[in-house]
Amino acid sequence: MAATKTRTIEQLVAEYAEPIADAVGLDVDDDDRTLSGFTRLLSDAADMLSPADCTREWLEDAAEALTALGYVDTDTARQAILARVDGLLYEAKSDLESC
């Protein structure tokens, strides 16, 4: 069985906040580096895209999943959510960079 990569909010913010914000014309500030700020940044970025754009759905799904972090009480559940968010943001970032 392959080892699962452990992710943190800080890692996700460092990897995805700037490229996603830049792609849609937003700025990243210190507040956007917190869980709630990053969630809001993803929602704001999604709002800048067409409702028919699959990237918008990935960003909305990632923001929704991050909101769910406040409701989980085990590290296993937290890591599952962070892994899902990582996958969604990887797809969104790749798609935005190719446009």
Kindly report, residue by residue over 18-37, the tens digit of the pLDDT: 999 999 999 999 888 999 99
Contacts with 35 (C-beta within 8 Å, 6 or more apart), sequence order: 9, 66, 69
Integer Cα distance of 99 and 97 in angstroms: 6
Q: Is residue 1 pLDDT above 90, yes or no?
A: no
Q: Judge whether 4 lies within some domain.
A: no
- Residues 36-60 pLDDT 10s: 999 999 999 999 999 888 999 999 9
Answer whether residue 1 is part of any domain.
Answer: no
Do the domain assignments include residue 2? no
Quote the domain boundaries for residue 25: 9-98
In a domain, 42, yes or no: yes
79 in Cβ contact with 7 (< 8 Å): yes
Domain count, the chain: 1
Question: Which helix (H) or strand (E) covers residue 87, if one does?
Answer: helix 75-98
In the numeric block, the tokens 């909305």 are attached to 60
Nearest to 95 by CA among 24, 11, 3: 24
